[in-house]
Every structure is written in C-alpha cells, then in structure tokens.
Chain A
C-alpha cells in the first residue's frame, strides 16, 4: 500500500546528502535497546502463537464447560 511517487525532481533531492547522518558511526545504547527489544517482542509473540498452535493440547472447543449437575446436596 501507499506508494506516493514524487515527481521526477526526486532525482535531484535523492542526490543531496544529509550532513547530520554522516556522524552516525554505529548503534548507540538506545539503538541497541530499541532494536533488540522490538525484535525480541515480535519474535516472542510469534513463538508463543506457533507453540500454542502446534502444542498437543486440544483447543478449548473440545473442553466444554464442566457439567453443572445438581446433586441436590446442600453444603
């Protein structure tokens, strides 16, 4: 989705370098934290879902609510 193609002048803007970015030498502590945190979060969610799907326990559709049997016992 969303393709917003700019006019042909984009050629010119593409060639302009951003000076501030040239100072980047690597990942900062914040960068590491955000990158690893995001990857970990998304991967964990994925692993959780896959493990639930492929786990041997049957889905709850087969685990019906316990039968409510009135034994007429008064506690």
Chain B
C-alpha cells in the first residue's frame, strides 16, 4: 500500500503555478472570447450587456470555477485525472457515472468540430501572410475605388464567398477535395504531438509560450484598431448602452451563457487540469487568476477589436451574433480594408486565433486521454492513438456534412445543453454531496486567501438556482427552433413556402407567421396540401430536397451524440467497476491506515 500523496508525486503534475494558470487560461481563451463575446454583447444591449455579464461572472462563473477546481484537486488525491473518475470518487452512485460521461463526451464532441475552426484560422493566417486572401478579393473589387462604400461591400461579399468556399458551406463532401483537408490534418498532427508529450512537457510548455504570444499579438492588433480614424464611432456602436434591453430575459440568458461557455465550466476540462495539482497546491487564487486572464482577453481585447472595426468599415449590419459569421465573414473583410498593413494584421489576428484554438483543443483532448489511462491502464501511445481514431472518425463526418455547417451547428447545440446540465450537476454535487461547508473548507486548504464567508450559501442555493433559470431560459429560447429544424417534413414545407411566397414573411413577425403557416399546411392530409408543395417545380423540388437533407443531418448529429453518450457511459461503468474503483479503494484504504 502506498500513500496517495506519494502516488501523486509519481503521477504527472504541473511544473509551476504560472504553468497551470496559463494552461487553464489557454483552455478557456478561445474563439469565443475574440469573436462570440463582441457579437453577443453588441446585439444584446452594448455597454448595458456588461451589467448581467458581470453579475453572471460573480454569481455563476467564479463559484462554479472554484467548485470544479476543488473537486478536481480532490479527485487527484484518489488517483483520478478524468472527470468521470473524479466525480465517482466523490459520489459513489450511478448518476455520477452519467454526469462523468458528459464531462468526457462534451470535450470529445466539441473537438470534432473545433479542429475544423482551428484549421480555418491557420488557413486564413497563411492566406494573409502569403497574399492569397488579397488575390481572392482582388477579382471582386476590380474597377472599384478603394474607400468607397461599393468597394467595402464588394470586399464583404467576397469575404463571405471565401469563407463559404473554404468551409465548403454549399456542398457536402467538398472539403475533402480542397486544401482545407490538409490544414485539418496538420492541426490534428500538431494537437496530438503536443498531447502525446504529456501535461508538463506538452501542454504546459506549449501554453507558456503560446499564451504570452497570443496576448502580445492581440495587443498589437488592438493598438492598430484604436489608432484608426473615427474609431470613436465604432467604440460607440459597441459600448453605448441600450438600457431598455435589460428588461428582456433573453439578454440575461445570453450573458450567463457567455460567462458559462467562456470560462469552459461544465466541460470537465477544469476537473481534469486541476487534478494534476498537488494536494496542498492553492486552488482559490490559481483559478481566479486563470478566470481573470480569460476575462481580460474577452472584455479588453475581444471587446475593443472586432466590432468597433467592423462598424467603422462595414456598418452595423456586419456584426451578427454568430461566432462563425463574425470570425470568418466579417473579420477577414475588415482586416483587408484596414489601411497600412492590413495583411500583416490579418495574418497576426488569425495566427493568434489559431494559437487560442490549439490551447483550447489540447484541453479538450486531455480528459479523454486521462480516462483511457486511468480507466483502462492504457499507456500514452495507445491512449493517444485510440483517441485520434475516435476524434478523426467524428471530425470526418462533420467535415463531410459541411453544407450550411449543419452537422457542426447541431453538435454544438447538443454540447451547449450538455455543458449546462453537467455544470449544474457538478455544483449540486459540490454543494449537496460533498456539502457546502466541507467543500469550501477543502477549497481553502493550501489556499493563498480564504473564500468569502457567504460562499457555502452561494454554492448550495444561489448558483444552482441561477443555473436552473439559465437552463430553462436556454431551452425556451433555443430548443423549439432546433427541434423544428430536425423535422424533414417541417423544413421541406418551409423551403417550398419560402420559394412560393418570397416576400410574404418579411418584417419582425415574419418568422412567427411562417411557422404558423407551415404548421397549418403540415396538419392537413397529404391530399389537401397545396399543389406547389405536392407537385413542385424543379427549383422548388431541389430546395425541398436540400431542406430535408439538412434536417436529416441535424437528426443524425443529435443521434450520433446520443449514441456516443451511451458508449462512454458503458465504458465508464466498466472502468468504475474495475480499475477506477480499485484505484479509489486503494487510495481510501491507504488514507484510512494513515489516519488510524
């Protein structure tokens, strides 16, 4: 029998405090900070958005981060570095295996599409530095004068076209025959080489170099943006508060969602990374530092670059909420339009996004690697190879079903839901299974400063209640549209209706009117349906077929994620009955002996 603390010394652990902070900050800082935050903020109240955002950070973000770090370090003492093993060590009940499955499933599934975005960032960075993007835009702006609105609009249009071509948004399977395929392969190789090297030599070493470089690049781009003529109008568009929007619950839900996804809570990443801490390492200050670094990147760097520059060059219509649209439709255009060194700053911008994506990707792979090693005793080459095969299979499907990025969009939707559920479950385990008082005492062990006295009440009642409200609002606002999108019949009728009456559903109440009309047609028996749907012309027939295919891809994506959840849960069950269970029992036995 060995002391679990001695076991810790034999296991991998972080080399330094700065290393773990940069690694965790690197996992949290990703495309969402630089692209999703500004789009969400400007579309949900501008400066006023910061009120629910900061409240969410204090009530939701920080307490969950502290809970996850504490549970992760605790799990590490039981020889567990994966979310499933950590949660099972804390709560020896069947639901812990299901929640643990979410902490493994979400990172794996997110990685399957995130690696494509990572590859796209690399593609754009190289295209800027080598002039490839300029060459593409050049043909679209022939004969137009630089600085005119026609020129800017032509650049914006060409930028959208370029993104569609790169990401094969118009045709399934087209990405396999484009250069993007090789960029994806390159990103896969880079990620797996780093992850193969382990926590200290791989992840920590890379993040120690990548994070300062990333922030440095972002500061250079920020300085360039803030020195643009009339940048005040862009800043005004981003930051002038629209207080009236605070009455809308959706704005509060978006703010809470942004905090949740930005800090990477509920993922299982923090559980995994913090389990590599030593039992007496600080978690309170370390986690707060990683979170504050993430917030700095998001609010200061993300909030001052993209939207102000986009408004300045392209007007307000080019700041959609979607990460993909902001990042790959709007930003490439504004980098091209930026006077003096647009290509250099564009290359640097996408280079920093690439680094941010790599650091995030690493954190998505590590929990599964840790599970394969902790749960089945695999050695590093075997665990890395197995995970590479699994993620490559998933990513190849997401790559193939690239039309409208439907597969990516729906797996993302499923992951968001699972993240909120997993986050809620983890806070409940901390507050009610470990016990809020005991949990806070555990967090304070070895901490640089103590948690506030109100923290037990916060993690037991306030944060879970807030999360339940977020979950209900999230389902209310997002789920109905997604469920409709998975019905081939609904989408088919909708496509035919749009073709038949292109102008009828304009205006703010257009979508509701369209949904009501589709439902009305759908309720009729086949013989009573309008002829333009039952006997469509060729063009309408194609649109209906495309819409049905999209709905089927959406269904397939959700079913695929569900199947993967079942497989992972079964694997966790086997591991918990065998190796994980034995390791935990061994650690407990040793601890009891020591106490005796």
Contact = CB atoms under 8 A, between A and B. Distances in A.
Interface of A: 1-8, 10-11, 13-18, 20-22, 24-28, 30-35, 37-39, 41-43, 45-46, 48-50, 52-53, 59-61
Contact of B317 (A14, A27, A39): A14
A14 B384 CA distance: 42
B219 interface: no
B239 interface: yes
Nearest to A50: B289
Given A15-B157, A30-B241, A41-B54, A52 B448 contact: yes
Nearest to A20: B316
Interface string B241-267: 101000000000000000001000000
Contacts of B115: none
B296 A14 contact: no
B317 A31 contact: no
A8 B498 CA distance: 14
Contacts of B300: 39, 42-43
A39 B50 CA distance: 11
Contacts of A42: 292, 295-296, 299-300
A11 B295 contact: no
Nearest to A21: B316
A27 B235 contact: yes
B77 to A, nearest CB: 15
Range, interface on chain B: 35 or more
Given A25-B233, A49-B285, A2 B448 contact: no
B317 A13 contact: yes
7 contacts: A1-B36, A2-B322, A3-B405, A4-B322, A31-B240, A42-B295, A43-B296
B282 A1 contact: no
Given A1-B36, A45-B295, A34 B239 contact: yes
A43 B325 CA distance: 28
A49 B18 CA distance: 11
A21 B237 CA distance: 7
Interface in B308-327: 311, 315-318, 320-325
Given A26-B232, A60-B448, A34 B409 contact: no
Interface of B: 17-18, 21, 30-32, 36, 46-48, 50, 54, 110, 113, 117, 153, 156-157, 160, 164, 169-170, 232-233, 235-241, 243, 261, 280-282, 285-286, 288-289, 292-293, 295-296, 299-300, 303, 311, 315-318, 320-325, 329, 404-405, 408-409, 412, 415-416, 446-449
A11 B219 CA distance: 31
Contacts of A16: 317
B379 to A, nearest CB: 32
The 3 closest A-B pairs by CB, nearest first: A34-B47, A21-B316, A31-B240
B548 to A, nearest CB: 14
Contact of B324 (A4, A26, A60): A4
Contacts of B117: 3
Given A14-B156, A27-B240, A34-B47, A1 B322 contact: no
Interface of A is mostly: helix
Contact of B160 (A11, A43, A45): A11
Contact of B409 (A5, A14, A37, A46): A5
Contact of B47 (A8, A26, A30, A53): A30
A26 B233 CA distance: 4
A19 B470 CA distance: 33
Given A17-B317, A49-B288, A3 B237 contact: no
A59 B498 CA distance: 64
A1 B416 contact: yes
B323 A1 contact: yes
B412 A18 contact: no
B320 A14 contact: yes
A52 B408 CA distance: 41
B285 A3 contact: no
A59 B282 CA distance: 8
Nearest to A34: B47
A3 B50 contact: no
B329 A1 contact: no
Most chain B beta-carbon contacts within 10 A, residue among A3, A5, A7: A3
Contacts of A33: 47
Contact of B236 (A2, A4, A26, A59): A26
Contacts of A14: 156, 160, 317-318, 320, 325, 329
Given A5-B404, A24-B236, A25-B232, 12 more contacts: A3-B405, A5-B408, A14-B320, A15-B157, A25-B236, A34-B46, A38-B303, A45-B288, A53-B21, A53-B286, A59-B285, A60-B447
A6 to B, nearest CB: 7
B169 A8 contact: yes
Contact of A31 (B170, B241, B288, B320): B241
A22 to B, nearest CB: 7
B239 A59 contact: no
A1 B413 CA distance: 9
A48 B117 CA distance: 34
A62 B208 CA distance: 26
Contact of A35 (B235, B318, B321, B446): B235
Nearest to B232: A26
B238 to A, nearest CB: 8
A53 B19 CA distance: 12
B316 A2 contact: no
Contacts of B281: 61
Most chain B beta-carbon contacts within 10 A, residue among A15, A35, A50, A60: A35
Contacts of A43: 296, 300
Contact of A38 (B54, B237, B315): B54
A5 B325 contact: yes
